[in-house]
Chain A
């Protein structure tokens, strides 16, 4: 859509731009022509502070053409995902937190509490004995917690080599099998890693 605001004084160019952007569907482009410095600065200010992708170029007759993009679907999806998850990876090396019976209870308690957080960790990586969690019996308390995390979109990976080592590769019930390269990439690529 094109909008010619040449010769109009403040606040008219901004108000017309605002109205046009409100009426345009997502993924459209609005081109506003203005003829004064004040109008150029004002329309740019309005669009940029409104979160729109904005560009400006000088055109003939001392005028400026301001291109405003309404809605970037990929941005919107990225934003919603950012709103739900912390950019953190939970790195589990054992099926317990500490030793013994208490350790086994703690891991369930910890993961269960994680479920209550407003933002969840983006992924959980299980290596070594931790693969015994993702391959536990259906009746084990941990299974319910892991399934709930997965249902909320947390990615859960179990180390393939580890599954083979413990002879449980056919018992994986939650998440996917991860490989060494993918694991390392996730550990270094994310903002933070938490190890228990």
Chain B
């Protein structure tokens, strides 16, 4: 890793930990309407990307995402920001066609060569999923930000929404939790290089393969776990129509993140998410690592609702394809007292 550029040292918060809280966002978006006959998925269900009907074979999937640096290496930051932006299309079950760079460049602290490396990292990941960067826009900014506006396609009858799980399904998560905590520790220079490399490689992993695999099985809903944490996105998935029951011991959490959480290295975003969501959560067996379930993830994994019959096959397929943190973490139950519970 080339950490000389020290990208994370010149921003207030790292990655999705810098995201506006879900309460603030809901309020700000409340007055906006996007109802139209061609809008198949709009803003009303807090889904990952919008979907616009084109014809019987195709619908347009659009999404945009930018993040502040989560690692100090510019190329790797570029890869992670791209993986994070592209993920929303994969969560809808789509394929990416084109992407446009969006850059806020902190020219006061970084030379132009850093910008070049960031963009090269982004391009590397866009190419990996068979898409192409066709443009972009850069402004000077006091804090470094990078991400993409991404366009893809999905079959209008094969859209994977975030809020349509069936009772009896189970949830599979394809990446481990703890990334908000770990990137905060990276920013504070608290991690060894070997750990930073492990974290960076998880963050830079595209959800492309996971998405392609999931489409082969009996999947009812899918989303990606990002800024609102596992419980934030699970809450959107439950849509207050079902109860999602998590098994704490099965949820993949990096050991390094647990240790940091014990030390109190937990970004404010996790507490914001928790205070917004805690009324929806029933802690059957309170756990010391609970806060990690609210930890804001950058470039998190897919959260997939799959039938119980197909779950073991899908899980094995994901594991076989190198998505080694994948695990069955929850079950969809009829709506109980609260939409989320863990034990």
Q: Which residues of A contact B (CB under 8 A)?
A: 9-12, 14-15, 18, 36-39, 41-46, 49
Q: How many residues of B contact A (CB 8 A)?
A: 19
What 9 A-B pairs come out closest when comparing CB atoms?
A: A46-B264, A42-B264, A38-B268, A45-B264, A38-B271, A14-B264, A11-B265, A49-B262, A11-B188
Q: Is there a chain A Cβ closer than 8 Å to B275's Cβ?
A: yes
Task: Tell whether, in the assembled complex, residue B12 and residue A9 are in contact, meaning their CB atoms are under 8 Å apart.
Answer: yes
A-side contacts of B262, CB under 8 Å? 45, 49
Task: Tell whether, in the assembled complex, residue A11 and residue B185 are in contact, meaning their CB atoms are under 8 Å apart.
Answer: yes
Smallest CB separation, B73 vs chain A (Å): 20
User: In the bound complex, how far is the Cα of B192 from the Cα of A79, in angstroms?
Assistant: 33
A-side contacts of B188, CB under 8 Å? 11-12, 15
Task: Tell whether, in the assembled complex, residue B264 and residue A43 are in contact, meaning their CB atoms are under 8 Å apart.
Answer: yes
Smallest CB separation, B53 vs chain A (Å): 43
Q: Is there a chain A Cβ closer than 8 Å to B13's Cβ?
A: yes
Smallest CB separation, B291 vs chain A (Å): 8
Q: Which residues of B contact A (CB under 8 A)?
A: 12-13, 184-185, 188, 190, 261-268, 270-272, 275, 291
Complex: chain A residue closest to B269, CB-CB: A38
A-side contacts of B271, CB under 8 Å? 37-38, 41
Task: Tell whether, in the assembled complex, residue A10 and residue B266 are in contact, meaning their CB atoms are under 8 Å apart.
Answer: yes
Smallest CB separation, B261 vs chain A (Å): 8
Known: A10-B267, A11-B184, A39-B268. 6 other contacts (CB 8 A): A9-B12, A10-B268, A12-B188, A38-B268, A42-B264, A49-B264
User: In the bound complex, how far is the Cα of B91 from the Cα of A58, in angstroms?
Assistant: 43
Task: Tell whether, in the assembled complex, residue B266 and residue A45 are in contact, meaning their CB atoms are under 8 Å apart.
Answer: yes
Task: Tell whether, in the assembled complex, residue A44 and residue B264 are in contact, meaning their CB atoms are under 8 Å apart.
Answer: yes
- Given A15-B188, A38-B271, A41-B271: A10 and B265 interface contact (C-beta under 8 Å): yes
User: In the bound complex, how far is the Cα of B262 from the Cα of A44, in angstroms?
Assistant: 10
- Given A9-B12, A10-B184, A11-B190: A42 and B275 interface contact (C-beta under 8 Å): no
Smallest CB separation, B98 vs chain A (Å): 36
Task: Tell whether, in the assembled complex, residue A37 and residue B12 are in contact, meaning their CB atoms are under 8 Å apart.
Answer: no
B-side contacts of A14, CB under 8 Å? 263-265
Task: Tell whether, in the assembled complex, residue A49 and residue B263 are in contact, meaning their CB atoms are under 8 Å apart.
Answer: yes
B-side contacts of A42, CB under 8 Å? 264-266
B-side contacts of A18, CB under 8 Å? 263
User: In the bound complex, how far is the Cα of B177 from the Cα of A82, in angstroms?
Assistant: 38
User: In the bound complex, how far is the Cα of B13 from the Cα of A105, in angstroms?
Assistant: 73
User: In the bound complex, how far is the Cα of B265 from the Cα of A9, in angstroms?
Assistant: 10
B-side contacts of A43, CB under 8 Å? 264
Please, could you name 30 A-B residue pairs with CB atoms under 8 Å apart, sorted by A? A9-B12, A9-B13, A9-B267, A9-B268, A10-B184, A10-B266, A10-B267, A10-B268, A11-B185, A11-B188, A11-B190, A11-B264, A11-B265, A14-B263, A14-B264, A15-B188, A38-B268, A38-B270, A38-B271, A38-B272, A41-B271, A41-B291, A42-B266, A43-B264, A44-B264, A45-B261, A45-B262, A45-B263, A45-B264, A49-B264
User: In the bound complex, how far is the Cα of B61 from the Cα of A58, in angstroms?
Assistant: 48
User: In the bound complex, how far is the Cα of B1 from the Cα of A122, in angstroms?
Assistant: 56
Smallest CB separation, A14 vs chain B (Å): 4
A-side contacts of B190, CB under 8 Å? 11
Contact of B275 among A11, A15, A37, A45 (CB under 8 A): A37
User: In the bound complex, how far is the Cα of B331 from the Cα of A77, in angstroms?
Assistant: 49
A-side contacts of B185, CB under 8 Å? 11
User: In the bound complex, how far is the Cα of B181 from the Cα of A38, in angstroms?
Assistant: 12
Contact of A46 among B184, B263, B267, B275 (CB under 8 A): B263
Contact of B266 among A12, A15, A41, A49 (CB under 8 A): A41
